[in-house]
Chains A and B, each alone.
Chain A
Amino acid sequence: MRELTFTAAAREALAEEMARDPSIFVVGEGVGARGGNFNTTTGLYELYGPMRLRDTPIVERGFIGMCTGAAMTGTRPVVDFMFVDFILDAMGELINQVAKIQYMSSGRLKMPLVLRGSIGISGASATHHSGSYFPMFVNIPGFRVVVPTNAYDAKGLFKTALRGDDPVIFLEHKALLNAKAQVPEEEYFIPFGQAAIVREGTQATAVAVGSMVRRTLEACEALAGEGISIEVIDPRTLAPLDIATILQSVHKTGRLLIVDETFAPCGIGAEIAAQVAAHGFDDLDAPIQRLNGVYTPTPYSPPLEAAVVPNTTQIVQAIRDLLAE
């Protein structure tokens, strides 16, 4: 089967859906002839022109508010925000408007708005280009929050996002954008709320998010040499969260570690831990553990930057500690 990068797979999803549905348009800085800062729209401007590949001034609040109104009036905007840090300027529009309009209109308005762009710590991007912030979005009723971790999932989940009528925050970790995976030629969709068991195991469950999936798999591979068997789950979407798959795994393994680059307080790990404690308490043979990035703004200098992100050695140690409980 052919292999595509994460970015190429997501771009293919966008291209297919734009060909199918003329009401889809993309806004963002450099999404036109430039093809997107991360090549998210390469080649599409030539096909669809400026009304559908709309370069914007640097006005995140402005174009997100504009796309909110557009989504209420019959079109399907895709906001290509480049770095999630940039849309913090639009949090009022996102939380007060985008997330609430379906509810406030008692379901008579839809909000088919997809916001997509990069997250994560990578490549000395420093603190204004390294955020993830997904727990903030997960906390708000009204958003679908998607964090794909490979090319196959990126395409299938992006297709689902572009077909749906709900606002979707589609978050693409910078460290994963050039990673290749097998992507079939045939059309496929991945539903929201369906976690992937990316490695089967028996002794403990590791739920990993975003770029931590790859590192956790590396850690488990290393431990497998010692006969240690760990199950790894990639939730793929954080809202909705497939807690059932996690509970089933914990039922089997009795132990749970959540690995997440973002901050621990009120984070996705806290939510998963609370739900497993509530609904899987009798399955647990040890306290639930979390391994998170350091609770700090993201520093620039490479040794400092590396120090804030959980690495494979730390994940290995966290698993050993969990098994020793």
Chain B
Amino acid sequence: MNLTQKEYLALYRQMLVIRRTEEQLAKAHQAGLIPGACHTYIGQEAIATGVCANLTAQDAVFSTHRGHGHALAKGVPPREVMAELFGRVTGCSRGRGGSMHLFAPEVGMMGTSGIVGPCILQATGAGYSSRLLNNGTVGVAFFGDGASNNGAFHEGLNLAAIWDLPVIFVFENNMYATEVPFSYATRNTDMAERARTYGMNGVSVDGNDVLAVYEAAAAGVRRARAGEGPTLLDCKTYRTRAHSEGMPSLGSYRTQEEVDAWKSRDPIMTYRARLLHEGIASESDCEAIDMEVQALIDESFEFAKNSPYPNPATVAEHIFSS
């Protein structure tokens, strides 16, 4: 790894922004500020952070129902994510979307989706645009283990492979599709191998290690920009909160021991320890970031909470381009 201290700390800060935003959202959901669904990304922050650190605002990200982390890592301000979940006009989708429909094309966040699978195809299309316009951008799809058995996975990977499209498929294996174990839903769980059967580059990586994700994504993005085709990143991780806020954390599908074991491998805590251990940053460097992020989250929450709702008279605007 050849990062500056500033870059190392930026990864730490980005993960922390996601974590603190999600914690604030979880609290807000309990307080009744979020009228709809809220799927948190807590435990998976290293993946969005490590991948998006390799992208520019022109690169197009397509995401899932668990997409707050992707939006934040791609550059959507926390205040706009919070305001969107609160249904406010200052939200990134102007209150039309909520948790599962976060759009901010100005930073290349081309949408999260309430439907599992389409992001894989749309990222492939962004890769097609890149090739046709010859602009060097990449398309990126974030999706979970649940999407990997969907037809969109097969069709999208095949199209990207046969046309050597600049696409990064980020497979986030958090082990459960809602509450269905990946090991139950799939016979071959080696996703890097599955990628290779499509004739594409497939790489397995520890999804809780932000540097490992960063490095693997960097190699994939480099290949894509060089015209060497798509890559699938197989990232093993874990969501430590419930599938959706308000649902039981354990349910009938996992044990407290399993959750605790993964919490002990928390991507932010372990990364911070590593920065300190390897002398990359000091305790006070990290604390300064902790405080700055907390202030940002507090300010974002106040902003979102105090933002107005959209005007009902605008409800039928933007169905068409004009």
Cβ-defined contact, A104 with B111, below 8 A: yes
Q: Which of A91-99, A202-210, A227-235, A279-287 contacts B (4 or more CB under 8 A)?
A: A91-99
In Å, the complex CA distance between A72 and B106 comes to 12
Instruction: Flag whether B126 is at the interface (Cβ < 8 A).
Output: yes
In Å, the complex CA distance between A141 and B111 comes to 19
Query: Are A72 and B60 CB-contacts (below 8 A) given A62-B155, A66-B121, A66-B124?
Result: yes
Distance in Å from the Cβ of B70 to the closest Cβ of chain A?
15
Cβ-defined contact, A69 with B105, below 8 A: no
Name which residue of chain A comes closest to B89, CB basis: A106
Instruction: Flag whether A267 is at the interface (Cβ < 8 A).
Output: no
Query: Are A63 and B159 CB-contacts (below 8 A) given A69-B60, A96-B115, A109-B105?
Result: yes
In Å, the complex CA distance between A57 and B156 comes to 11
Distance in Å from the Cβ of B171 to the closest Cβ of chain A?
17
- B118-152 residues at the A interface, CB under 8 angstroms: 118, 120-126, 128-133, 135, 137, 139, 151-152
- B88-132 residues at the A interface, CB under 8 angstroms: 93-94, 96-97, 101, 103, 105-106, 110-111, 113-115, 118, 120-126, 128-132
Cβ-defined contact, A72 with B105, below 8 A: yes
Query: Are A65 and B111 CB-contacts (below 8 A) given A105-B93, A164-B321?
Result: no
In Å, the complex CA distance between A166 and B199 comes to 35
Cβ-defined contact, B126 with A72, below 8 A: yes
In Å, the complex CA distance between A107 and B316 comes to 11
Cβ-defined contact, B320 with A142, below 8 A: yes
Q: Which residues of A contact B120 (CB under 8 A)?
A: 65
- A55-76 vs B, CB cutoff 8 Å, 1 = contact: the mask equals 0110101111111111111110
- A185-202 vs B, CB cutoff 8 Å, 1 = contact: the mask equals 000000000000000000
Cβ-defined contact, A65 with B321, below 8 A: no
Instruction: Flag whether A88 is at the interface (Cβ < 8 A).
Output: no
Q: Which residues of A contact B113 (CB under 8 A)?
A: 96-97
Q: Which residues of A contact B137 (CB under 8 A)?
A: 73
Distance in Å from the Cβ of A108 to the closest Cβ of chain B?
5
Choose from B122, B129, B320 the contact partner of A65 (Cβ within 8 Å): B122
Name which residue of chain A comes closest to B106, CB basis: A108
Name which residue of chain A comes closest to B133, CB basis: A74
Cβ-defined contact, A71 with B125, below 8 A: yes
Q: Which residues of B contact A104 (CB under 8 A)?
A: 93, 96-97, 101, 103, 111
In Å, the complex CA distance between A165 and B319 comes to 11
Q: Which residues of A contact B318 (CB under 8 A)?
A: 102-103, 105-107
- A22-81 residues at the B interface, CB under 8 angstroms: 22-23, 25, 51-52, 54, 56-57, 59, 61-75, 77
Query: Are A65 and B103 CB-contacts (below 8 A) given A59-B158, A59-B159, A103-B96?
Result: no
Cβ-defined contact, B132 with A51, below 8 A: yes
Cβ-defined contact, B155 with A110, below 8 A: no
- A104-118 vs B, CB cutoff 8 Å, 1 = contact: the mask equals 111111110000000
In Å, the complex CA distance between A7 and B83 comes to 50
- B150-179 residues at the A interface, CB under 8 angstroms: 151-152, 155-156, 158-159, 162-163
Cβ-defined contact, A106 with B103, below 8 A: yes
Cβ-defined contact, A23 with B133, below 8 A: yes
Cβ-defined contact, A166 with B62, below 8 A: no
Cβ-defined contact, B121 with A69, below 8 A: yes
In Å, the complex CA distance between A111 and B159 comes to 21
Instruction: Flag whether B257 is at the interface (Cβ < 8 A).
Output: no
Cβ-defined contact, B125 with A93, below 8 A: no
Name which residue of chain B comes closest to A56, CB basis: B159
Choose from A61, A70, A105, A141 the contact partner of B105 (Cβ within 8 Å): A105
Instruction: Flag whether A124 is at the interface (Cβ < 8 A).
Output: no
Cβ-defined contact, A97 with B122, below 8 A: yes
Q: Is the interface of A mostly helix, strand, loop or mixed?
A: mixed
In Å, the complex CA distance between A67 and B165 comes to 13
Distance in Å from the Cβ of A112 to the closest Cβ of chain B?
8
Query: Are A102 and B320 CB-contacts (below 8 A) given A72-B122, A108-B106, A109-B103?
Result: yes
Query: Are A142 and B319 CB-contacts (below 8 A) given A63-B159, A70-B128, A101-B111?
Result: yes
In Å, the complex CA distance between A142 and B96 comes to 15
Instruction: Flag whether B322 is at the interface (Cβ < 8 A).
Output: yes
Instruction: Flag whether B317 is at the interface (Cβ < 8 A).
Output: yes
In Å, the complex CA distance between A26 and B68 comes to 34
Name which residue of chain B comes closest to A90, CB basis: B121
Query: Are A73 and B126 CB-contacts (below 8 A) given A62-B158, A62-B159?
Result: yes
Cβ-defined contact, B319 with A103, below 8 A: yes
Most buried by B among A56, A77, A97, A111: A97
Most buried by B among A51, A52, A59, A72: A72
In Å, the complex CA distance between A57 and B106 comes to 33
Q: Which residues of B contact A63 (CB under 8 A)?
A: 155, 159
Distance in Å from the Cβ of A285 to the closest Cβ of chain B?
35
Choose from A77, A106, A110 the contact partner of B93 (Cβ within 8 Å): A106
- B53-97 residues at the A interface, CB under 8 angstroms: 60, 62, 93-94, 96-97
In Å, the complex CA distance between A102 and B106 comes to 14
Interface residues of A (CB under 8 A from B): 22-23, 25, 51-52, 54, 56-57, 59, 61-75, 77, 92-93, 96-97, 101-111, 141-142, 144, 164-166
Question: 10 closest A-B pairs (Cβ-Cβ)?
Answer: A69-B125, A65-B121, A62-B155, A69-B122, A165-B321, A107-B318, A70-B125, A105-B103, A73-B129, A106-B94
5 contacts between A and B (CB under 8 A): A63-B159, A65-B152, A67-B128, A104-B101, A165-B322
Sample of 16 more A-B contacts, CB < 8 Å, known A75-B129, A96-B118, A104-B103: A22-B132, A62-B121, A63-B159, A67-B128, A70-B125, A70-B126, A73-B110, A73-B130, A74-B129, A75-B128, A93-B118, A96-B113, A104-B111, A106-B317, A142-B320, A165-B321
